[in-house]
Amino acid sequence: MAVYDYDLIILGGGAGGFSASGIAVGLGKRVAIVEKNKLGGDCTWYGCVPSKALIRAAEVAHLTRNASQFGLSLNGGGRVCAKRVMKHVREVVQAVYDGHRPEHLQAKGIDVIFGSPRFVNNEQIEVDGRTISARRFVIATGSSPLVPPIDGIDQVPYLTNETLFSVEELPDSLIVLGGGPIGIEMAAALNRLGVQVTVVEMMERILVRDEPELVDILVEQLRQEGLQLLTGHRAVQVKGDAQQIQLTLENGSGQRKTIQANALLVAVGRRPNVAGLDLEKAGVAYSARGIQTDQTLKTTAPNIYAIGDVIGSYQFSHMAEYHATVATPNALLPLPIKKKVSDQHVAWATFTDPELAHAGYTEAEARERLGDGIRVYRYEYAHVDRARTDVAAVGRSKFITDRKGRLVGAHILGHRAADLIHEAQVVKVLGLPFHKISKAIHIYPTYGDLIKRPADYSYVDKVKNNPLVKLVQALRGAGKN
């Protein structure tokens, strides 16, 4: 019987790798994480943590400038200086990383090895000249910014999410290439911090995976705050230097125009980190979209699994953690029936202000899959007393149920939407009728009305459609005649 250095080696020390290692060591296994750069992954250093710190700073700046809405006045006119904001962001990142240092993992029984791993075969990797073996592997190497092949892009200085947070001072103006979550979050935040921002999106609308009617409300709000949005335009050429960037755009009709700014942020998507791993030597199949896995997250090598961004599906930290809960037990335990990953209950949020949260089908997707028997329930933030007290009345919740009243889609645009969505998500995952939420006592005044009131409407529909109730109503109508 072969003797291995570890029961499990995890390639990548980000969100997925942390979760997988914690599960494995909890199962009593010998575990190691191999990390090429720094523990914490993209989320800690270049994604979730710094972006949310910047967004919060932008919110404070916005509230300061609009203090009069709360009956307040500020001496000096309320001018905001954002020169130190990126230093603050980096300090927040460092504080978060301090909770994920190698010694913390070592104390839990998880070995941390730094270096660039390469597969020797499906049971061995080489890390900077050292060969290490394991019975099982989990690949969690994440993704990196995708830079499109625009004419001249390699000749100009551009930013990505990996370099944005290292700048010392914010530019006066910025072009953001890409209208997805990363691009829109950063554009909205920097706009509030005094940067003149123009977003360029090739599609006809931003945030194309989200509920269109809520995106339209968000777009109106962003434009009211001064953000420039150019949709339906493709970048075809870029020129410039560290002081000025010129970007040539082409619309669907072939018409061209050039815009300019002091800096360019590229946020058009992500590419899986597979380069340099020598996956071929381990028998692991992959493409430009990511590593190939089955529903158990096993690759084409029977003892190697892959999770998170590197498999090219939903590229969110919480999805990498979810994948870890599926792949790790499958890899390490003799389960008679392996756990399977499902995209049915994927949820996400875009942390603009107002926030946009998404779980399940959009209305159009629900109609396409389930027909016109679906029901749609909405509620406005303007009707929520707590939203009025917080001067946060922009937004709407929207819930979609199937014929049996089960929740198949939940969408919220507004203050705290990313937190609010979870109540609906739990009901959806458990397969409960949406109207069940109506039975729960919700505290007043809170934003819970955004879910409670639509659930009340769903309950009313349930009662109205009860056959006995219909019969009684029919008899009463006949009696009146």
Task: Note down the domain range covering 194.
Answer: 153-268
Q: CB-based burial of residue 211 (10 Å sphere; 0-12 exposed, 13-18 middle, 19+ buried)?
A: buried
In a domain, 347, yes or no: no
| pLDDT value of position 2 | 80
Q: Are residues 138 and 12 in the same domain?
A: yes
The CATH number of the domain where 186 resides is what? 3.50.50.60
Which one of 268, 288, 308 terminates a domain?
268
In a domain, 16, yes or no: yes
* Token pair in block for residue 377: 């329930």
pLDDT (tens digit per residue) in 109-135: 999 999 999 999 999 999 999 999 999
Tell me which residue of 188, 381, 370, 354 sits closest to 267, measured CA to CA: 188
* CA dist list (Å): 238 to 132, 231, 269: 45, 18, 18
Q: Are residues 140 and 71 in the same domain?
A: yes
| pLDDT value of position 464 | 80
| pLDDT value of position 369 | 96
| pLDDT value of position 74 | 82
Q: Are residues 134 and 37 in the same domain?
A: yes
| pLDDT value of position 78 | 60
Residue with tokens 């202000």: 353
In a domain, 339, yes or no: no
| pLDDT value of position 73 | 87
Q: Are residues 132 and 159 in the same domain?
A: no
28: left (phi over 0), alpha (psi -120 to 50) or beta: left
The CATH number of the domain where 437 resides is what? 3.30.390.30
Q: How far apart (Å, rounded) are the C-alpha atoms in residues 454 and 452?
A: 6
Which one of 246, 268, 290 terminates a domain?
268
Identity of residue 64: T
**Intervals of the chain under pLDDT 70:** 1, 76-78, 468-481
Q: What is the pTM of this model?
A: 0.94
Residue 61 near residue 192, CB atoms below 8 Å = yes
Q: Are residues 121 and 159 in the same domain?
A: no
Sign of CA dihedral 465, 467, 469, 472: positive
Q: Cβ of 325: how many Cβ atoms within 10 Å?
A: 15
Please state the separation of Cα 37 from the chain's center in Å: 22
Q: Are residues 27 and 135 in the same domain?
A: yes
Q: Are residues 12 and 141 in the same domain?
A: yes
Q: Are residues 255 and 283 in the same domain?
A: no
Q: What does the DSSP assignment read for 312-341?
A: TS---HHHHHHHHHHHHHHHHS--SS----
Q: How far apart (Å, rounded) are the C-alpha atoms in residues 312 and 357?
A: 21
The total domain count for the chain is 3
In a domain, 293, yes or no: yes
Q: Are residues 447 and 436 in the same domain?
A: yes
* CA dist list (Å): 33 to 102, 137, 140, 141, 185: 10, 10, 10, 11, 31
Which one of 242, 268, 294 terminates a domain?
268
Q: How far apart (Å, rounded) are the C-alpha atoms in residues 114 and 293?
A: 26
- At residue 137, the 3 state secondary structure works out as strand
Order across the sheet with 233-240: list the strands: 233-240, 245-251, 256-261
In a domain, 312, yes or no: yes
| pLDDT value of position 463 | 87
Supply angle C-alpha 283, 284, 289, rounded to 5: 150
In a domain, 479, yes or no: no
Q: How far apart (Å, rounded) are the C-alpha atoms in residues 182 and 192?
A: 16
Residue with tokens 């914690």: 22
Q: Are residues 54 and 136 in the same domain?
A: yes
In a domain, 18, yes or no: yes
Q: Are residues 183 and 139 in the same domain?
A: no
Q: Are residues 278 and 385 in the same domain?
A: no
In a domain, 21, yes or no: yes
Give the DSSP H/E element, type plus range, for residue 56: helix 48-65
